[in-house]
Structure formats: structure tokens, C-alpha cells
Amino acid sequence: MDDNDPGSRIALALDVPDLEAAKKLIEETREHVGTFKVGLELYTAVGPAAVEAVHAAGAKCFLDLKLHDIPATMGRSVAQAASMGVAYLTVHAVAGPSSLRQASDNAGSTRLLGVTVLTSLDAAELEAIGLSGGPRNAVDRLARLAWDAGLRGFVTSAHECAALRAALGEEAFLVTPGIRPAGSDVGDQKRVMTPADAIGAGADLLVVGRPIRDASDPAEAAANIARQVQLALAQ
Ligand code: C5P
């Protein structure tokens, strides 16, 4: 799939418990999806086999492990992920400047994506863990810190995409979860956006999970989202 294909802007979250379910979802949607996201659930269950299944389908792998550890461990873990050839790997920006620097120095051709503030944390919870000043302030500060440590990719709510783009410029690669086609079930996501609006807000890669995974016809759901992305890109 080349970079002009709308599917190259879609990452399908393989939020499933085993390899069989992951392979089925990959097979059903592969034609419309360029990247598959392996998260903590699947990686804990089956490990590198999940990454291999994505690569065997000729797709890119987004390894969403949200690493957060001391610099030496970060560097070595990132090097292991890079040696598997994953296209994207997430790290927590709160791991701090030294850990993030070690991570970026060991990433090779894997693009690191910094997670600033989990979207599940509200101001009260941030205060409880010692991050005062509210989420907006924390996102800005952590994104800047990660940028200074060499990261150029970020996971962000589509609602913060335009502000982050304005702050960081064109070089930033912005990945947005919480995508919902108009009329679909929001689930536990609080701040959602349609695929077209997220592209319009400057998102480079859209993470989509349940709207495809839980559809009665996942291939059709993925094709629909790809069509919406294509229309938005044409505008
Ligand atoms: O099912 P849904 O489309 O909400 O899936 C979103 C995916 O993105 C899940 O794998 C979830 O873990 C991930 N994610 C998120 N919000 C973030 C970061 C990651 O929903 N802030």
C-alpha cells in the first residue's frame, strides 16, 4: 500500500485476546488498512508472534507498549522493538528526558510516538499524581520535553491536533485515537472525532478500533472509513 492510499492513514487496533482473532481481523481488513496496532493485551498474550502476523500480511506494525522505565531499560527495549522492524512504538513522555533520549537514540528506523497525558486522566487525577495546571498545560509541557529529547511523533486526541501542529510544526507526526464515523457507537471514548474531521485537523494517522472490530462486516466498515479519509484528503 503506497502513501497516497487512504488506508495508509488508518491503523486498526488489534484489541483481541489471541492470535487467531488477530489474524482473522487482519485478513478481513487488509485491503483497506495499512497499519495494525498491537497493544498490551495481544502482546502480553502472544508476544512477537503478533508482530510477525502483521508483517506476514505485508502491513506495518504499530507496537503500542507505552514504555516507561529507566534510561538503560528504555534504550534496550526500544532496540529490541526496532530489530523486529515495527514501524511505530509508543513511549510515555513522563519517563523523562534521559529515558526519552535513550529511546530515540536506539529507535533506528522505528518511529517513536510519545504519549503525553492519557486521555482517561482528568484534572483531578492529574493533580493526584502531581501534575498540576490541568491537562492542556501538561500535554504542552510533555510534548515539548519529548520533542527536545528527539521525538517527532505524538499520540494526541484529535481535538488537540491543531494546537499541537501549530506548536510543533509540519515535522511533527500526529496520531489520533478516538475516531468514530458519524452515527457510530462512542463506547468509553469521551472526545471523539469523525475520520474526515481528524484528517482536516491535521492528523497523519488515525487509530480505529471498535468501529471496525465490532462491525458486523469489518471489511465494509474499514472500506467506509477509507472512503471518508480519501474524500477528506482530496479537499
Ligand atoms: O476502539 P477504539 O477505536 O476506541 O480504540 C482505540 C484504540 O486506541 C485502543 O487500542 C486504545 O487503547 C487506544 N488509545 C486510546 N486513547 C489514547 C491512546 C490509545 O483510545 N489516548
Q: Report yes or no on 27 lying in a domain.
A: no
Rounded CA-CA distance 16/185 in Å is 18
Query: By residue range, what is the domain housing residue 89?
Result: 66-234
Q: Report yes or no on 170 lying in a domain.
A: yes
Measured distance between the N- and C-terminal CA atoms of the chain, rounded to whole angstroms: 21
Residue 11: per-residue pLDDT = 98
Strands 10-13 and 35-38: parallel
| Total domains in the fold of the chain | 1
Q: Report yes or no on 177 lying in a domain.
A: yes
Residue 191: per-residue pLDDT = 77
Tens-digit pLDDT profile for residues 4-43: 899 999 999 999 999 999 999 999 999 999 999 999 999 9
Closest residue by CA, ligand 1 atom 10: 13
Q: Report yes or no on 141 lying in a domain.
A: yes
Tens-digit pLDDT profile for residues 139-154: 899 999 999 999 999 9
Rounded CA-CA distance 110/116 in Å is 19
H/E run at residue 175: strand 173-176
> What are 167's three cell numbers?
506548536
Q: Report yes or no on 114 lying in a domain.
A: yes
Residue 204: per-residue pLDDT = 97
Residue 196: per-residue pLDDT = 96
* Segments of 2-130 assigned E as strands: 10-13, 35-38, 60-67, 88-92, 111-115
Does residue 143 have its Cβ closer than 6 Å to ligand 1?
no
Residue 136: give its domain's CATH number: 3.20.20.70
Task: Please list the ranges in the chain whose pLDDT falls under 50.
Answer: none
* 19 CA distance to ligand 1 middle (Å): 19
Residue 123: per-residue pLDDT = 85
Does residue 189 have its Cβ closer than 6 Å to ligand 1?
yes
66 is catalytic: yes
* 198 CA distance to ligand 1 middle (Å): 15
Rounded CA-CA distance 35/32 in Å is 10
Residue in 24, 37, 60, 66 annotated catalytic: 66
Q: Report yes or no on 108 lying in a domain.
A: yes
User: Which residues have a Cβ under 8 Å from the Cβ of 97 and sit 6 or more positions away?
Assistant: 145, 148, 149
Residue 184: per-residue pLDDT = 85
Closest ligand 1 atom to 187 CA: 4
- Written as one string, the DSSP assignment of 124-161 is HHHHHTT--SHHHHHHHHHHHHHHHTT--EEE--HHHH
Q: Report yes or no on 30 lying in a domain.
A: no
Q: Report yes or no on 105 lying in a domain.
A: yes
